[in-house]
Amino acid sequence: DIVMTQSPSSLAVSAGETVTINCKSSQSLFGSIRQKNYLAWYQQKPGQSPKPLIYLASTRESGVPVRFIGSGSGTDFTLTISSVQAEDLANYYCQQYYDTPYTFGAGTKLELK
Amino acid sequence: EVQLVESGGGLVQPGASLKLSCVASGFTFSDYWMSWVRQTPGKTMEWIGNIKYDGSYTNYAPALKNRFTISRDNAKTTLYLQMTNVRSEDTATYYCSRERGAVFAYWGQGTLVTVSS
């Protein structure tokens, strides 16, 4: 199985700050045929189901604010949230879909200071 | 609007069997791969498995393959998860999800399964 290591596990920030969440996979998620990285990011707000934010490592889902930026390739990926808003308080998960079984990171809890 | 509504969760004893359902609406169910994903009380996310749009193929997480079975009824637009010989570590919220290229694009609200004597 591909192991996804996510850090930090929690993060306390002030509104307006920029935050970075890291995700490292135990093997490369880069597919040579399509030349894409098979990595997604999800946001889960309290009491809600997860919602996809980013797919193919850097493509935002429709309707996702531009302050959410996915980057990285191979085994190292990052979710950056520019100018954090109160509504961004949530748990964030990375997930690889390069190979089954699909696997998730342990999550990062974003809290306001 | 895509809707996925899970049901069938509850309190079950260790060793029992349980069948979860997920009724889909708002899209052509028979066009999509579907997955089950669970989330433990500690918030760990685990993919259980998925099923091809026509029901002809399934994939499972190896650790669950011998106890869990995914099926679907396209005429009823319903996805199922049959769980057998449940254990305390199966306590979780179970979500069904519509896939898009193996991304979990839509999720239901989840159904809670608690395994306890």
Task: Please write the tens of the pLDDT for every residue from A28-74.
Answer: 999 988 899 999 999 999 999 999 999 999 999 999 999 999 999 99
Residue B48 · residue B37 · CB < 8 Å: yes
Pull the structure tokens for residue A47.
Answer: 């009491």
**So what's the pLDDT on residue A75?**
98
**So what's the pLDDT on residue A32?**
87
**So what's the pLDDT on residue B1?**
96
Interface residue of A4, A102, A108 to substitute, partner B, most B CBs within 10 Å: A102
A107, B44: Cβ pair inside 8 Å?
yes
**So what's the pLDDT on residue A113?**
86
Neighboring chain B residues of A61 at a CB cutoff of 8 Å: 105
The Cα–Cα gap between B59 and B47 comes to 10
| DSSP one-letter code for A83 | S
Neighboring chain B residues of A1 at a CB cutoff of 8 Å: 62
B104, A103: Cβ pair inside 8 Å?
no
| DSSP one-letter code for A76 | E
Please state whether beta strands A4-7 and A19-25 pair in parallel, antiparallel, or not at all (unpaired). Answer: antiparallel
Q: Which residue from B44, B59, B107 is facing A50, i.e. has the nearest CB? A: B107
- For B1-25, letters b (16+ CB in 10 Å) and e give eeebebeebeebeeeeebebbbbbe
Phi and psi at residue A86, in whole multiples of 5°? -60, -35
Closest chain A residue to B35, measured at CA: A102
- Give the residue numbers in A contacting B (CB under 8 Å), as ranges: 1, 38, 40, 42, 49-52, 55, 61, 91, 93, 95, 97, 100-104, 106-107
Give the Cβ contact number of residue A97 at 10 Å.
20
Q: What percent of chain A has pLDDT over 70?
A: 100
Quick check: A112 pLDDT over 90? no
Closest chain B residue to A55, measured at CA: B103
Quick check: A97 pLDDT over 90? yes
The pLDDT tens digits along chain B (117 residues) read 999 999 999 999 999 999 999 999 999 999 999 999 999 999 999 999 999 999 999 999 999 999 999 999 999 999 999 999 999 999 999 999 999 998 999 999 999 999 999
Sign, CA torsion A64/A9/A107/A12 = negative
